[in-house]
């Protein structure tokens, strides 16, 4: 088994194991989407999407996608990407864009770049982790975080509330500005 296949298998195992039973009493026990029809609450619980092509990555970020979109290689888009929909992980709203692979000890084994003119974030608590995003980020939701990743561009927030909940985590870098626009 080559290194990429092994890394992908380990990442898949780790990500799926992290999405196990949360004790919510979901009778199906399959992690399928759950709609409680409670206004203002997230309506989906999902597993990870580990992808190696642009179409699958775009789908993973959509409102019908998954809480984690994990890349297995550099991805390039000529048009904007939209992170949409509300997903739950460990009982909290969450989305993750993982631009890396890791081993069984959760050490990063490879990092990737994601290139798009715009990344529009509409999902609460979206986390950009590992790798490099090349382009501008437009945030339209609370809790955007950059951890162990680089944004080669600007981060624009639709209002002050979104900026006030932004977090530049450990080893997070933004080469441009982060401001309300």
Q: Give the model confidence (pLDDT) of 81-101 as tens digits.
A: 999 999 999 999 999 999 999
What average pLDDT does the structure give for the chain?
83
Cβ proximity of 127 and 95 under 8 Å: yes
Dist. CA 126–CA 109, nearest whole Å:
23
Query: Over 80: is that where the pLDDT of 177 sits?
Result: yes
Query: Over 80: is that where the pLDDT of 180 sits?
Result: yes
Q: Sorting pLDDT into bands at 50, 70 and 90, what band is 47?
A: low
Query: Over 60: is that where the pLDDT of 17 sits?
Result: no
Locate 47 and state its tokens. Answer: 């597993």
Mean pLDDT of the 139-162 span? 98
Dist. CA 31–CA 148, nearest whole Å:
28
Q: Is 51 helix (H, G, I), strand (E, B) or coil?
A: strand
6: alpha, beta or left? (left if phi > 0; alpha if psi -120 to 50) = alpha
What are φ and ψ of residue 68, in 5° steps?
-120, 130
Entry pTM:
0.76
Dist. CA 156–CA 178, nearest whole Å:
6
How would you label 91-104 residue by residue, b for 16+ Cβ within 10 Å and e otherwise?
A: eebbbbbbbbbbee
Per-residue confidence (pLDDT) for residue 122, from 0 to 100: 98
Distance of CA 139 to the CA centre of its chain: 13
Per-residue confidence (pLDDT) for residue 49, from 0 to 100: 87
Query: Over 80: is that where the pLDDT of 151 sits?
Result: yes
The CA-CA-CA angle for residues 129, 112, 158, to 5°, reads 45
Mean pLDDT of the 121-125 span? 98
Per-residue confidence (pLDDT) for residue 42, from 0 to 100: 47
């Amino acid at each position: 088994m080559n290194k990429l296949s092994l890394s992908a298998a380990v990442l898949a195992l780790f990500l799926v194991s992290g999405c196990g039973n949360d004790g919510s009493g979901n009778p199906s026990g399959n992690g399928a989407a759950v709609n409680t029809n409670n206004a203002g609450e997230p309506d989906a619980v999902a597993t990870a999407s580990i992808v190696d092509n642009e179409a699958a990555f775009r789908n993973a970020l959509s409102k019908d996608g998954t809480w984690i979109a994990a890349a297995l290689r550099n991805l390039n888009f000529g048009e904007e990407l939209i992170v949409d929909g509300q997903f739950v992980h460990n009982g909290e709203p969450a989305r993750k864009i993982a631009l890396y692979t890791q081993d069984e000890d959760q050490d990063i084994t490879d990092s990737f770049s994601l290139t798009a003119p715009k990344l529009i974030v509409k999902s609460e608590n979206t986390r950009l982790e590992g790798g490099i995003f090349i382009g501008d980020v437009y945030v339209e939701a609370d809790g955007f975080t950059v951890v162990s990743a680089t944004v080669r561009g600007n981060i624009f927030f639709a209002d002050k509330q979104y900026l006030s909940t932004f977090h530049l985590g450990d080893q997070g870098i933004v080469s441009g500005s982060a401001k309300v626009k």
